[in-house]
């Protein structure tokens, strides 16, 4: 049989696809649904690299939501109690097992940022910035805590920072507006969140360097709004930002040292998406709107601007994953399902899922390389 150049190229591309097939198998996850104490509600919002998860669950009499801790491998939470009131919630946990969140103080009149030391169910009141209420959202490996707190007179909340072991909140300021909030802090003390711009015209994603109370404006994707949700040890930041003309709101990534947002795209063109968590490898999770008000949990591999629907990588019956909140260094994902519960997704295999466009492009490259190599052999011969 005589092979023309065109036929050889087609064959090479097909062979390239076959060679790459093992690498594009859909990664599968084992799904573990976290339970409650006997009430009808539970929701986890944080997970550490040991697999401990924290959040909120209704008490056994189904009366009050309390801060909850799920030990690795367990679907039954531990009640972390409150600050003398009836309500509490846990938002973050570090690898040492320290938990942060908030709780009502006695009488349920005010809500204060709270810290639970590893293994303890006694909440520590972290205080405020002089106002009535405060909230803690993140804690790093050193025990530094971030969140927001109201100023004296309660005009507006400001991003707040607590040194390890301290109950004195430090005001991180704003971007010229009246309010701000801190959502996460990394091992190097970099703090991320959002803040009002001058005149409170809009909210922008903000970064505070370690030890600084000067907010850095991270900008948007051409629109008015942006906000951050997480930061990894390398300083990569994820969140969401409005696109030019405010046509849509897309998940966004900021590389270390940069104030230029990278558009991570969505599952449907011009639809909304959010990035909520990033691990040390640069894997990102979040959610995207499919149609109407329906959202699906999504995953980006490092370097991708095209997300994968996590529902294509799990075997669920009668419900689906609506949001992916956090991803740990081992690839474990904390996600919310359509039944209103939280699930832990544990990877079963190491194969990396990729979109069809990536497969085709990679196949073509392999095919061209193979063809060029063949042509070189002909020349030598």
Question: For the chain, which residues make up each domain, given as ranges?
Answer: 1-25+358-381, 35-357
Q: What is the pLDDT of residue 352?
A: 47
Q: In what order do the strands lie in the sheet with 333-337?
A: 29-33, 342-347, 333-337, 321-327
Taking the C-alpha atoms of residue 285 and residue 255, their distance in angstroms, rounded to an integer, is 16
| pLDDT score at 37 | 82
Rounded Cα distance, 353 and 192, in Å: 29
Q: What is the pLDDT of residue 5?
A: 40
Q: Give Dmax (Cα) for the chain.
A: 90
Tell me which residue of 262, 290, 343 sits closest to 34, measured CA to CA: 343
Strands 78-79 and 84-93: unpaired
Burial zone of 188 (CB within 10 Å; 0-12 exposed, 13-18 middle, 19+ buried): middle
Instruction: Say which CATH architecture domain 35-357 belongs to.
Output: 7 Propeller (2.130)
Residues 264 and 280 sit within 8 Å (Cβ to Cβ): no
**What distance in Å separates the CA atoms of residue 136 and residue 129, rounded to the nearest whole number?**
13
Q: Which residue has the tokens 């349920």?
A: 108
The pLDDT value recorded for residue 60 is 79
Per-residue pLDDT of the chain (381 residues; tens, 9 = 90+): 443 444 443 434 333 333 333 333 445 899 999 998 877 788 999 999 999 999 999 887 778 899 999 999 999 999 999 999 999 999 999 999 999 999 999 999 999 999 999 999 999 999 999 999 999 999 999 999 999 999 999 999 999 999 999 999 999 999 999 999 999 999 999 999 999 999 999 999 999 999 999 999 999 999 999 999 999 999 999 999 999 999 999 999 999 999 999 999 999 877 999 999 999 999 999 999 997 789 999 999 999 999 999 999 999 999 999 999 999 999 999 999 999 899 999 999 654 454 444 433 333 333 433 334 333 322 333
CB 264 within 8 A of CB 298: no
CB burial of 303-312 (b: ≥16 within 10 Å; e: otherwise) equals ebebbbbbbe
Distance, in Å, from the CA atom of 98 to the CA atom of 113, rounded to the nearest integer, reads 14
pLDDT of residue 349: 67
């Amino acid at each position: 049989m005589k092979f023309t150049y065109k036929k050889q190229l087609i064959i090479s591309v097909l062979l390239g696809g076959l060679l790459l097939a093992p690498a594009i198998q859909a990664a599968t996850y084992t799904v573990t649904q976290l339970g409650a104490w006997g009430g009808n509600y539970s929701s986890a919002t944080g997970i550490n690299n040991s697999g401990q998860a924290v959040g909120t669950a209704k008490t056994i009499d189904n009366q009050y939501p309390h801060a909850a801790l799920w030990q690795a491998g367990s679907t039954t939470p531990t009640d972390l109690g409150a600050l003398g009131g009836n309500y509490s919630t846990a938002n973050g946990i570090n690898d040492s097992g320290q938990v942060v969140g908030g709780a009502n103080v006695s009488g349920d009149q005010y809500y204060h940022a709270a810290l639970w030391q590893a293994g303890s169910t006694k909440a520590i009141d972290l205080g405020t910035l002089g106002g009535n209420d405060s909230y803690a959202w993140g804690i790093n490996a050193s025990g530094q805590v971030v969140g927001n707190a109201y100023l004296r007179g309660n005009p507006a909340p400001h991003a707040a920072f607590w040194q390890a072991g301290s109950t004195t909140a430090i005001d991180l300021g704003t971007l010229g507006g009246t309010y701000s909030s801190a959502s996460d802090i990394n091992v190097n003390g970099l703090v991320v969140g959002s803040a009002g711009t001058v005149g409170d015209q809009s909210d922008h994603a903000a970064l505070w360097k370690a030890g600084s109370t000067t907010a850095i404006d991270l900008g948007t994707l051409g629109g008015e709004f942006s906000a951050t949700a997480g930061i990894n040890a390398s300083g990569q930041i994820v969140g969401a930002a409005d696109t030019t003309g405010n046509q849509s709101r897309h998940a966004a990534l900021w590389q270390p040292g940069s104030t230029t947002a990278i558009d991570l795209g969505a599952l449907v063109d011009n639809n909304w998406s959010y990035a909520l968590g990033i691990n040390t490898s640069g894997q990102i999770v979040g959610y995207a709107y499919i149609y109407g008000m329906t959202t699906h949990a999504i995953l980006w591999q490092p370097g991708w601007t095209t997300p994968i629907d996590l529902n294509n990588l799990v075997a669920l019956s009668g419900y689906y994953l609506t949001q992916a909140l956090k991803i740990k260094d081992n690839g474990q994902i904390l996600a919310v399902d359509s039944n209103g519960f939280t699930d832990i997704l544990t990877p079963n295999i190491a194969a990396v899922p990729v979109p069809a466009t990536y497969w085709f492009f990679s196949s073509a490259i392999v095919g061209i390389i193979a063809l060029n190599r063949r042509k070189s052999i002909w020349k030598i011969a």
